[in-house]
Structure 1
Amino acid sequence: MTLRGAAQDWFHTLLSGLISNFKKLAYVFTKEYTSYQMMKKNLDHLYNLGKKPDESLRAYIKRFKAKKANIVGCDDRIASSAIKEGLPAEHNLCHELTMTSSQTLAEVFTTAERYALWDDDRIASKKSTEQEDLMTKRAYERSDKLGSKDKDKRTSRPQGEATTKENYTKFSIHIHQILAQVKDKPWVKRLPPLKGDPSKRDTRKYCAFHGTHGHNTNNCFA
């Protein structure tokens, strides 16, 4: 609470939990302001920042605060305008700041923090989905690789029931559940229709992968 202006802005750029006592605060503060000569920068530096396409909102705000801390006597209204100008026009935070242009800089940072939390969740969700897709694809590739070793054996048998002597990848869920998750992926290739007389197939069994009767999805070699 004793810090003001650029010093307080600098303080808010520190990593959470970094400061455990006053001695630590004194150390990092002295190191920040005596270990290098801080070049004077003008307000153009703020307007030239801009959020990078692959940069998270939280990283952009942190970088903005750090740059603002290097500008002596930076006007809060100009800083508020600059932080909005650095956002893509279609960004939700840009819309929010445009609709509430009378906010103080502190209020702008508070609003940005709310959007940063949402952005963090979005990035985490995207990574989780990509990881799940990758794991599913790898599981499919392992299964396909294992199955290709017995291709010649399979073509000499009916495509009906799998024998208990075959060794296939063991999944934690049923094959029909995996198929439901990956059926629309571009790397899933459907096989041509089954050969043979359709009227002679067991209509009590249906394969969702082949889209026809004759065997169950969970016992499908393909």
Structure 2
Amino acid sequence: MTNISRSPFTNEIEQAEPPRKFSMSYFTSFKGDEDPEKHLKHYQSAMILYRNNDDLMCKIFTTTLQSEAQDWFYTLPPQSIRSFNELSLVFTKEYSSYHSIKKKSNHLFNVKKNPKESLRDYVKRFKAEKVRIVGCNDSMARATFQKGLPADYPLFKKLIMKEDLTLANSFTLAKKHALWDKAL
């Protein structure tokens, strides 16, 4: 049994009992290598019915921590956490370097096809970068995809000739072009 005086939680939190009909939800685990705010949002959404029970919010949150994150929790000074807000604050402060960096649409202008890169790999890399941009404009993404190709590349010329293409159509054309290249 855990020695209450050594817990990072106050005695009040440690001794609190869960509500009678409380059943544990499934939570994604936090290991210390991802965005802490994203983890907190997921946790708070899952615990929406119990958000007014601060003691329970604290105690259950610690069950979502694994590996390094769980080790970190037990390095907190004994009885230093008095509320879920305090726990959230120290948690996000500790793991703030793992915040997702939100990229803007103009980030795609930096994605260029490397000379030795296959068309398939370029498309794959471009798609991966596009996914990281929330609300990316399709026509701007299509233009940056095209601009990322070398001007003397055969697909570049085909894309220029068809101004009304969507990004999905451009990817389909790229796929056909990549298959045609393999046939040669």
TM-score category of the 2 structures, normalised to the smaller one = 0.3 to 0.5
Which of the pair has more CA radius of gyration?
Answer: 1
Q: Calculate the TM-score normalised by the size of structure 2.
A: 0.46
**Structure ranking higher on relative contact order (CA contacts 8 Å, 6+ apart):** 2
Q: Calculate the TM-score normalised by the size of structure 1.
A: 0.38
